Amino acid sequence: MLVRTFGSAITGIDAITITVEVSLGKGVNFFMVGLPDSAVKESHHRIHAAITSNDYHYPGKRIVINMAPADIRKEGSAYDLTIATGILAAADQINSDQIDKYLIMGELSLDGNVNPIKGALPIAISARENGFKGFVLPQENAKEAAIVDNIDVIGVTHIKEVVDFFNEDLIIEPTKLDTRADFFSNLNEYEFDFAEVKGQENIKRALEIAAAGGHNAILIGPPGSGKTMLAKRMPSILPPLSLHEALETTKIHSVAGKLDRNSGLVTVRPFRSPHHTISDAGLVGGGTFPQPGEITLAQNGVLFLDELPEFKRTVLEVMRQPMEDRIVTISRARVSVEYPANFMLIAAMNPCPCGYYNHPEQECVCGPVHVQKYLNKISGPLLDRIDIHVEVVPVPIRELSKRTDSEKSNKIRERVIKARIIQEQRFKEHPKVHCNALINSKLIHQYCNLDEAGQELLKNAIEKLNLSARAYDRILKVSRTIADLDESENIQNDHLAEAIHYRSLDRENWGN
């Protein structure tokens, strides 16, 4: 007897249907064909144990499992349940009338419990697109799959429930989620608020500009000055996610198996802060079975690289292309997958090895050569992609204990949103550009014009501060954003003067 069940495989952040054919014949062997990896082979042992330990009959016959299409790599243990259901149906222990109307996935433990899988959301999306009636999956993944409507999401915890469900001995209510209501009620929720940061008004201003224009930024300051605290609050002032962005972000975290089991849609922009010992693959994605890296997990949100000079140079190099293209391509001998990589970079660093260069109270013991050397550890091309440099001076301890009223993040966010709307209008004929940070030199000439006084001011500043050539375009872009926050059509001198401020690391005398 031949039975078909259906599972799904992930490529990139999308899923495609996998057909599992089970046939029983004469003999007592077990064969699996269609390029399953070693994990799928191991699943035979788990399936055997799960079936027999629950008093089902494991057919003492020649069992052939064919997984198609053959050219797609099927990794992992998530097909345990797909195959087990097929075997039980082929052996007439499950009524096979309905099984081809469902996608069935889950990892089995030896006693028949069903364990969670990765990618339940994109699988549910593809199941609906392919006209399946429902998706039988681990209970723990039910909420993320239920983001998709018009498909029955059947959450199960044990193989017995699957058997009883198809045999109509058990009714399992589909998991339902009101995704839109959830989305709109959680839109303005965030974990950390800028109001919790005392003082530091100039830094908050710089970060508001960064958020408004989509500019990458670096915070330079001594230990304990609040760099990490400030960076963590960036998602709270960026515009709220659109429903499309929320879905995309959730899909990525679903594929990486990093979703909170109890929630459906991700409604807050992600904040990722990988440690500086991270590998190339960890940062940009990769591995034998490609997995998204931190830059993809930060999609639509913030990637925070703390202690930037401590990252290996090669690791930062691999980020360059994705930062340019906003997409990362992982090539393997058999496959090549693409992940989105559209994030805002916030970096942080100490100003020198000891941390106290330029500190108001403590003395730096490093000496100019060491300070410069420390800075040189960051590659020029990466620095080229960071528009805003901010020096963070610690708030004195006596000030920290005072009660002061600071502006709440949602107030800052309102101004950011206004500035973003102006930019969207301005760039409406350039589909790939939606904020000032993304404009190329041609558009800079078009949209960042200075009057004569402004040109003079910029020229003088560049000479006086010894700014390197790369500073020029950055200053223009950032001053455009400052003008937008000011709802000013033209870039005025005070906008320009403020933008010139944000180029600390371009000063050729840094460290002298």
Ligand X SMILES: Nc1ncnc2c1ncn2[C@@H]1O[C@H](COP(=O)(O)OP(=O)(O)OP(=O)(O)O)[C@@H](O)[C@H]1O
- The backbone torsions φ and ψ at residue 263, rounded to the nearest 5 degrees and listed phi first, read -120, 160
Q: Are 307 and 276 in contact (CB under 8 A)?
A: yes
The entry of Mg ion, Zn ion, ligand X, none near residue 479 (CB within 5 to 8 angstroms by kind) is none
The residues near 337 (Cβ < 8 Å, ≥ 6 apart) are 11, 12, 290, 329, 330
User: Which of 65, 348, 352, 450 is in the footprint of Zn ion by CB under 5 A?
Assistant: 352
**Residue 397 identity (one-letter amino acid):** I
Tokens of 502: 């944000």
Pick what 366 binds: Zn ion, Mg ion, ligand X, none; C-beta below 5 to 8 Å, kind-dependent. Answer: Zn ion
Closest distance to ligand X from the beta carbon of 400 (Å): 5
Rounded Cα distance between 120 and 142, Å, is 8
Q: Tell me which residues in 391-410 interact with ligand X (CB under 6 A).
A: 395, 400
Q: What are phi and psi of 94, to 5 degrees?
A: -125, 135
Site for ligand X in 340-379 (CB under 6 A): 350
352 binds, among Mg ion, ligand X, Zn ion, none (CB under 5 to 8 A by kind): Zn ion
If we measure between CA atoms, which residue out of 269, 213, 212, 279 comes closest to residue 236? 269
When the beta carbons of 98 and 228 are compared against ligand X, the nearer one is: 228
Task: Count other Cβ atoms within 10 Å, centred on residue 236.
Answer: 23
Give least dist CB 147 to ligand X, A. Answer: 34
How many amino acids of this chain bind ligand X (CB under 6 A)?
Answer: 15
> Does the footprint of Mg ion cover residue 228 (CB under 5 A)?
yes
Q: Which is nearer to ligand X, 26 or 402 (CB)?
A: 402
357 binds, among ligand X, Zn ion, Mg ion, none (CB under 5 to 8 A by kind): Zn ion
Polymer length in residues for the chain: 512
Is residue 304 involved in binding Zn ion (CB under 5 A)?
no
Least Å from the CB of residue 291 to ligand X? 28
Written as six digits, the tokens of 357 are: 């260069």
Measured between alpha carbons, how far is 160 from 95 in angstroms, rounded to an integer? 13
Q: For residues 354-373, which are near Zn ion according to CB under 5 A?
A: 354, 357, 364, 366
Rounded CA-CA distance 57/75 in Å is 27
Q: For residue 304, give the nearest of 219, 192, 222, 213 by alpha carbon.
A: 219
Kind and range of the H or E element at 233?
A: none
In the list Mg ion, ligand X, Zn ion, none, the entry touching 395 (Cβ below 5 to 8 angstroms by class) is ligand X
Residue in 44, 128, 227, 413 binding ligand X, rule: CB under 6 A: 227
Q: If binding is defined by CB under 6 A, does position 229 make contact with ligand X?
A: yes
Which residue matches tokens 């610690």? 394
Q: Is 198 in the site for ligand X (CB under 6 A)?
A: yes
Contact between 207 and ligand X (CB under 6 A)? no
- Residue 273 in contact with Mg ion, rule: CB under 5 A: no
CB neighbourhood size of 405 (10 A): 7
Element (H, E) at 304: strand 302-305
Examine residue 64 and tell whether it contacts Zn ion (CB under 5 A): no
Site residues for Mg ion per CB under 5 A: 228
Site residues for ligand X per CB under 6 A: 197-200, 221, 223-229, 350, 395, 400
Site residues for Zn ion per CB under 5 A: 352, 354, 357, 364, 366
